[in-house]
Chains A and B, each alone.
Chain A
Amino acid sequence: MKALTFTLINPPEERLDLSILTPSTLAELTRNEIAKLRIGTSRRPASVGDLFKITGSDPANIIFEGGHSRFDGVASGMTGGSIRLVGDAGNQIARAMTGGSLYIDGSVGRHAGSGMTGGRVEIRGNAGDNVGGPLAGEITGMDGGVLIIRGKAGDYAGDRLRRGTIALCKGCGDYPGYRMIAGTIVILGRSGIMPGYLMKRGTLLFDRQPEHLSPTFLPCGEPDSPFAGLLDRYLISEKITDRALLGARPGKFAGDNAVSGKGEILYRKKGR
């Protein structure tokens, strides 16, 4: 079966909520039923058929040909299968996702991967603020899965991360790993100020010594670390990096001692 494909006809005139277009929600629907689904969010909301030409029939594999920064909630609540979007997307993509894979061949807005608990998300472009972070009133952010931003991420990436891995491949804004509970954030390239600010536990990985650290992070030397070898191999197997990031003896800062201080920042030492 060919992948179920949504080809964008006209750019949307309103913000869209595409959370209804996931493999599990479309599994039982005919093409006509899908065309009638409402995805607009204004008083006279657009339906799928107004904006997209629908081809293909395999709902386990969904392709969006063409994207827009008004495409909110792409793959939100997704439980399995795969979604591929060629273009940009808006806010809260992969929100509360539990499984499957999402690939976005463009840039996305705020709260990408917010509260996701499983699955794999890869974004080729940049991401806005609060990558993986909780919405207002929620206690934890991302709680599992793998979230890769190949471009640059905004501020507060990995806010209240509890489990899972976030990779920011071309740096990020301020406060990455803000209030982190546990989990792993990989940052390649330049980070803004105060990485790991108020983190309780968890691991921040850098390809260089981090700048602008809070004074509540304390250096812990550079002992031999088999865990660094394990992490390096994991990052390569997840295709986050293509060679060892940390090496056998990464430098370490412990923090944030303003809270429990059981978190860590590991970074590759210069010349190693």
Chain B
Amino acid sequence: MEQLMRNGVAIDDTFAEAFGMRATAIIITAPTLKWARQAAITMTGYATSVIGCGCEAAIDVDIPASRTPDGRPGCRVMIFAMGTDELQKQLKSRLGQCVLTSPGSACFAGLEAPARLDLGNSLRYFGDGWQISKKLAGRHYWRVPVMDGEFLCEATTGLTKGAVGGGNLLLLAADNTKALRAAERAVAAIGKVPGAIMPFPGGIVRSGSKVGGKYKGMMASTNDAFAPTLRGVVKSALTPEINAVLEIVIDGETSDAVAAAMRAGLKAVIDLGPQKGALRISAGNYGGKLGKFHYHLKELL
């Protein structure tokens, strides 16, 4: 494969292949940032991949108190799914079990779009008749009495059909420490890009997958071409100096957000250099036939 060199890091001439998804966003606030994040982290737990979790979700950015609807610190959470019904179902159950229950929390729409998903509209019945509806400046809120006061929740949030899931970077390094260091740098850089999330643990995947497998019913199985221990026995994508590969998967509110996130991640890994981090950067695709969105690495440098 043709390669470009940047600061001693080889960049494969390949592309990341991504898919159109549905996405929504909410803003969670709490008396402190710690508790806003706690509600968000709980809500986005077990939400790494639509294959097994029904949705992909993570915190997008923290929002200072001066810019939240109720003047308390908060964070924006994004949730992605393949269909509107599944997204609504995931949003409702995660909101009800993880945000409603979290001390001092409140929840607001985090995305403006004409298509809407229910937030408070589906949770208000928890109020058992004591819930209060309030409309202020064209926005509709529900207030549900709970044991530490009131759960304040906007009635609906926006839904976008223009979201993109599956942007990715593969970071190939000489050992695990270097691969992880490169991946952490990339995650930190992508974390600053608004409208893009990395749903896997700490933003990083170590078990990249290929479509299907030898066993019946397996929708995905290990990406053997990038598994260093199989280098001798399968058609490997790895050269002898590579001993660890980590992947970063990116979901974005828009295609531009995914591209911006991949660009930020690439820059961070290239700036780190091959001695401390990755020797080579690649990206995952399925030959370009499955996904509508292609992100060529050389165009993002």
Contacts and interface: CB of A to CB of B under 8 A. Distances in A.
Q: Are A and B a genuine interacting pair, yes or no? A: yes
Contacts of A224: 31, 104, 148-149
B106 A226 contact: yes
A227 B137 contact: no
Contacts, number: 51
Interface string A162-199: 01010000000000000000101000000000000000
Contacts of B293: none
A238 B71 CA distance: 16
Interface stretch (A36-44, A92-100, A229-237): A229-237
A158 to B, nearest CB: 16
Contact of B143 (A182, A227, A238): A227
B124 interface: no
Interface residues of A, number: 21
Contact of A226 (B29, B130, B134): B29
Contacts of B175: none
Contacts of A165: 136
Interface residues of B, number: 21
A223 interface: yes
Nearest to A165: B136
B69 to A, nearest CB: 6
Contact of B136 (A226, A229, A234): A234
Interface string B40-78: 000000000000000000000000000001111000000
Interface string B6-44: 000000000000000000000001010000000000000
Contact of B150 (A201, A227, A232, A262): A227
B136 A231 contact: yes
B134 to A, nearest CB: 7
A130 interface: no
Contacts of A238: 137
Given A223-B149, A223-B150, A225-B150, A230 B70 contact: yes
Contacts of A233: 69-71
A230 to B, nearest CB: 5
Given A223-B150, A224-B149, A229 B134 contact: no
B188 to A, nearest CB: 31
A223 B149 CA distance: 5
A40 B28 CA distance: 57
Q: Which of A165, A233, A237 has the most CB of B within 10 A?
A: A233
Contacts of A229: 70-72
B149 A225 contact: yes
A203 interface: yes
Contacts of B136: 165, 184, 230-231, 234
Interface in B114-142: 130, 132-137, 141
Nearest to A203: B134
Contacts of B135: 163
A227 B104 contact: no
A147 to B, nearest CB: 14
Contacts of A237: 137
Contact of A223 (B69, B141, B148): B148
5 contacts: A163-B135, A201-B132, A226-B150, A229-B70, A232-B71
Interface of B: 29, 31, 69-72, 104, 106, 130, 132-137, 141, 143, 148-150, 152
